[in-house]
Amino acid sequence: MVTAPDFASPEELAAALDVQNYLADEGLATAAFVARKLGRPLFLEGEPGVGKTVFARTLAAAMGVPFRRLQCYGGIEASQALYDWNFPGQILELRAAEAGGRKPSSASLYEERFLIERPILKAIRESPAVVLLIDEIDRADDEFEAFLLEVLDDYAVSIPELGERISAPAPPMVVLTSNQTRDVHDAIKRRCVYHWIDHPELDRETDIVRRNLPDGCEPLARQVATLMVELRRVELVKQPGVAESVCLAQGVLALGADVLDPRRTAAALGTVVKHRDDWEKVRALLPRLMPG
């Protein structure tokens, strides 16, 4: 069994994330540490753009293990999460057998070479040296949640066509995320260590933005973070996240400025505002919201 690197403390985990350029606060690092120690999934909830998905990807990099992502959506089925079969390959096998005068057997069509592994099966086979992200679980339906409950209980997959049951030797590191578009069933949350990721405080957001800019852009990072704090106090259809903060700063730099000014900020507003009503409201308020 391939083992995954472990962390001695939440502080050590946070330091490993910091090396990968992800600034985790104490609460997030502690929740991830506890989930890892208990062998339980980590359930991250929060507004879009606060860093939930990036956290899972960065955690895999910090651990030095593969990253597997299952993007949830309405109508997602177990086959998209577990495995499927290479139908075109099976058809070619049938034709080759017929051309050679052979009668293909069912077993020859359902061999490992025709198996298409989806993220959960991959993660179970690679466990425990893997990070599995089940992204935006709130977009899936009740049937998929019921299926997921079974997976989180025993981390095993039966493949009847191969006559195999594949079990994880130890639980993988699983991260589930939700944007809270609907309530996820309590049965899922009970199996997880829960953590809410909020928008960062001014100093932390400044540091996050600064890390994504060239050296010498500290004033711009501070101005952008200050503006974003003010924007989140405005009633908008879609509140901007940290990802939008970074994008705004990079957009202003692309326009040839290293500090915020009304003209370039308005020109780069599409990096932050993603709804027409928000666009009109923010453009009208921008002169007042600009940091001094």
Is 46 in the same domain as 148? Answer: yes
Residue 100 lies in a domain: no
Provide the residue range defining the domain that includes 250: 202-289
With respect to residue 71, please indicate whether it lies within any of the assigned structural domains. yes
Q: Is residue 105 part of a domain?
A: no
Domain boundary (165, 196, 227) is at 196
| pLDDT confidence of residue 257 | 87
Last residue of a domain, one of 181, 196, 211: 196
Supply the pLDDT for residue 196.
97
DSSP string across 223-273: HHHHHHHHHTTS--SS---HHHHHHHHHHHHHTT-SS--HHHHHHTGGGT-
From the CB of residue 212, how many other CB atoms can be counted at a distance below 10 Å? 16
Residues 6+ apart with CB under 8 A from 245: 205, 208, 209, 224, 225, 228, 272
**pLDDT for res 97:** 80
Q: Are residues 69 and 211 in the same domain?
A: no
Cis peptide bond upstream of 128, omega within 30: yes
Examine the domain organization and report whether 211 and 162 are in the same domain.
no
- The pLDDT value recorded for residue 30 is 97
Number of domains in the chain: 2
Mean pLDDT, each 10-residue run in order, the chain (292 residues): 76 96 94 96 94 96 96 93 92 84 77 93 95 96 91 90 91 95 92 95 95 92 94 90 93 91 89 90 89 76
The answer to the question of residue 107 being in a domain is no
Of 117, 106, 114, nearest to 90 (Cα)? 114
| Same domain, residue pair 21 and 129 | yes
- Domain shared by 182 and 257, yes or no: no
CA–CA separation, 261 and 256 (whole Å): 11
Q: Are residues 150 and 185 in the same domain?
A: yes
140 inside domain: yes
- CATH number of the domain encompassing residue 25: 3.40.50.300
State the alpha helices, DSSP H only, in the chain.
10-19, 26-38, 52-63, 78-81, 87-99, 106-109, 119-126, 142-154, 186-190, 202-211, 218-231, 242-254, 262-267, 276-289
SS3 18: helix
